[in-house]
Amino acid sequence: MRILRDSEIEALIAEIKLLTENWQMQFKLKEKSGFQHEERSVEVTGQKGNAFKVVLRRNRINTFDFSIILMFIDKDGKEYRLLRYNGKHPSEHTNKWEKEQGRPGYSFLPALHIHRATERYQEAGYTIDGFAEVTTEYNDFYSAFNRFLKNSNFLQAEGPQTNLFEGGNSR
C-alpha cells in the first residue's frame, strides 16, 4: 500500500460527496445475523471522481459503542480509512506514535473520539487512522453521523439540506 500524504488526506476529506435523493434509506443500519451490532456500508463517488465508502456500525446492546468510517478506495482497489468517528467503547485508547515520541497526553480513557488518517502513522508502520482525539462535537450515534456528514463534505444533490436523524432517536 502506498502512503497517503497529509495534503492528499485533507483533499480527499474536503472533496464534495453528493448524497442521492434516497440517501437516508441507503444509510439505514441493518442487523448483522449472529452479531451484537447493526451495520451498513455505502459506496459514494466524490465530485473529482474519487471513490469512497462509508461504513456504519453500532452495537445493539451498548449504543455508545459505534464507529462511523470514511474510507478512500484507491484506483487499485486498496482501501484507506481517512476518518473514524467512534463512540465510547470500553477500552482505553493510546496514540502509539505520540507515546513513542514521549509526548504528553498520548492516551485517554473511554470517551467519544475521532480517529484521523495521518502520514506519520503510516510512515511509522502503524494503522493509518491510529491517531485519535477526544471530542465534544457529538454525544451519540445520531449526532456523530450528522457531524461526520458535514465534516466529510457530504451534500444533498437537490432539495433542502436535512439531518439523517432529525427528531433524535428515529431509526
Domain assignment present for 165: no
Model confidence pLDDT, tens digit, residues 51-62 = 999 999 999 889
Model confidence pLDDT, tens digit, residues 95-117 = 999 999 999 989 999 999 999 99
Domain assignment present for 87: yes
C-alpha cell at 156: 444533498
Q: In 3D, which of 10, 80, 25 has the Cα closest to residue 52? A: 80
Domain assignment present for 39: yes
Domain assignment present for 83: yes
d(CA 146, CA 130): 23
Helix, strand, or coil (residue 88): coil
Per the structure, the complete domain to which residue 59 belongs is given by 6-156
Domain assignment present for 47: yes
Domain assignment present for 170: no
d(CA 152, CA 147): 8
Please list the residues that pair with 116 across neighbouring strands. Answer: 83, 131
- Using 50, 70 and 90 to split pLDDT, how confident is the model at 65? very high
User: CB atoms < 10 A from the CB of 160, how many?
Assistant: 5
Is the pTM value of this prediction over 0.85? yes
Domain assignment present for 166: no
* Burial of 70 (C-beta count, 10 Å sphere; 0-12/13-18/19+): buried
d(CA 25, CA 32): 17
Work out how many domains the chain is built from and give that number: 1
